[in-house]
Amino acid sequence: MSSPMKSKADTIAHLRRRMAEIPARTQGSTRPPSAAIAPTRIEADATHDTASTLRVLPAPDPIARLLPHRGLVRGTTVHVSGATTLRIGLVASVTSSGNWAAVIGCPDLGLVAASEMGADLARCALVPDPGPDPVAVAAVLLDGIDLVVLSLGGANVPPSRARAVTARVRSSGAVLIVTDGSWPTVDLHLNAQVAGYRGIDTDRGRVAGFDVAVHARMPGRQPHRGVVTLTGHSGGVTWGSGPAAQPGLKVAQ
């Protein structure tokens, strides 16, 4: 999807053609029927019955434990900030479960890291250069993609524009993640910050993993915090939870 388009209309037409080629659109989607889609405002904690599990997209287990429905509720908008590891992990969880994801305006997203976390890159549509209106590109992709990650490039989206896209998120049963900018109203805020590195002792040693402090906040609810540990091994990267490591070495996130 990264080839240059002549105009915004050409870009959208190209995206629609690519979406029509996605097998899940013709062989049966993993989305629930519209009647089963949760409202934009996540309801108070309810019993986690079968219907509830149909309304969420999976998240890495330590992240899911911080969320009331143990995943990303379909039909909602999520603001994610901080370490890119969290965004990569969410894309990996969604695509590895057989769902589709699109990443808009994030040319530096770590595809190798996503693959090591288990992402199915064949189910991930990349739009590294969406042009002057990435919100319009996201609105198109919401009609056929389960998870859309949208980098706003530092922009502040007007409330009227955000409401229109949020309504589309709700009706389509997708999940929209917005990052690197301001979205007026969201259902969930997730922030991740690198908290420490494992394998480093008195500034010596080899990095064997790192800890990420995750803060999950929803309007009208008590925030939830947790420390997530990512450990590398020959087969990829494993998500776990545990006490924070010492800050030690400092590197760019």
CATH number at residue 172: 3.40.50.300
In this structure, is residue 29 part of a structural domain? Answer: no
Do you know the residue count of the chain? 253
Q: Sorting pLDDT into bands at 50, 70 and 90, what band is 26?
A: very low
Verify that 218 and 93 share a domain, yes or no.
no
Same domain, 163 and 126: yes
Both 62 and 115 in one domain: the answer is yes
- What is the predicted pLDDT for the residue at 242? 60
Return the DSSP state at 203.
T
Q: Is 82 domain-assigned?
A: yes
Q: Is 50 part of any domain? A: no
CA–CA gap between residue 106 and residue 180 (Å, rounded): 10
Question: 3-class SS at 220?
Answer: coil
Does 185 lie in the same domain as 215? no
Q: Average pLDDT of the chain? A: 79
Q: What is the pLDDT of residue 238?
A: 77
Residue 44 belongs to a domain: no
93 with 158, same domain?
A: yes
Judge if 116 and 213 occupy the same domain. no
Q: Rounded mean pLDDT of 38-67?
A: 62
How many separate domains does the chain show? Answer: 2
36-45, 151-160, 226-235, 238-247: lowest mean pLDDT where? 36-45
Structural domain containing residue 227: 191-241
Same domain for 180 and 87: yes
For 88-99, b/e burial (b = at least 16 CB within 10 A) is bbbbbbbbeeeb
Which residues are CB-contacts of 244 (< 8 A; sequence separation ≥ 6)?
Answer: 195, 196, 211, 213, 227
Residues 143 and 197 in one domain: no
Q: What is the pTM of this model?
A: 0.76
**How many other β-carbons are positioned within 10 Å of the β-carbon of residue 247?**
12
Contact 17, 140 (CB under 8 A): no
Question: Residue 77: CB partners within 8 Å, gap ≥ 6?
Answer: 40, 166, 169, 175, 176, 177, 178, 183, 185, 186, 187, 188
Whether residue 121 sits in one domain with residue 66 = yes
* 107 and 183 together in one domain: yes
Q: Which residue do the tokens 């992709």 mark?
A: 141
Q: Are residues 185 and 195 in the same domain?
A: no
Q: In angstroms, rounded to a whole number, what is the distance separating the alpha carbons of residues 124 and 102?
A: 5
